[in-house]
Amino acid sequence: MVELTIDGIKTSVPEGTTVLEAAREMGIIIPALCYHPGLTPYGACRVCIVEVVKGSQSLLEASCTLPVAQGQTIITSSAKVSQARKVIIELLLAACPNSKTLQDLAASMGVNRVRFKIKDKNCILCGLCVRYCKEQMQSGGIGFVGRGTSRRVATAFGETPEECRNCNGCEWICPVCERACMAGSLTDGVCGRCLNLAPVETCPVCTHCSEAVGSSGHRVY
């Protein structure tokens, strides 16, 4: 077993566990887009970054690909982490402004505008569909093609391969296929409607057990 500290709480987990998995077992919610428990970690979206404290310094690393280590100290929601996540969400929204999943994340993080040029690519290159097709369906009918800004998910030569089983799993697992409720009529790249909702009261380690909403919104016990 490996002992580490996450958000001030000591825990022990089996060797080979990732920081994201360890945190979720403790009830600590770390947002993630390219992660799925049934697939190999990829570390593409970077939304799951956490602060790894090493002495007087700290680094931001993707928790879905970061294995736990003996004596490790992790902070999942520091000001440094929150600010970095907001910038990442802005960049992802610039590529997929009409995604409900991204708009919901933006609202939960308090992102009220996108400061980057919006180019709706309808894909954040998270690789979930590619990994699902290869690892779960044993097909590999889709994959990444191109490099740099031309990189995209496609089939070989743009044709439906014989390996494709028409399972629609790629659509089911895609985090940007579901359109936002205000798709097509966004302001500065965001919907903003959910920002008007009062968050549920939670303790620092949220397991979503509370359903009470105070008049002033969020409160830390």
Predicted confidence (pLDDT) per residue in 151-160, tens digit: 889 888 778 8
Beta-bridge partners for 153: 144
Burial of 92 (0-12, 13-18, 19+ CB in 10 A): buried
Domains of the chain: 2-117+180-196 (3.10.20.740), 128-173 (no CATH)
pLDDT for the residue 190? 76
Looking at the predicted structure, is the pLDDT value of residue 219 above 60?
no
Tell which residue, 62, 39, 55, 48, has the closest CA to residue 131: 39
Residue 2 or residue 158, greater confidence: 2
Residues 6+ apart with CB under 8 A from 67: 16, 17, 18, 19
pLDDT for the residue 218? 47
- Which pTM value belongs to this model? 0.80
Predicted confidence (pLDDT) per residue in 42-95, tens digit: 999 999 999 999 888 899 999 999 999 999 999 999 999 999 999 999 999 999
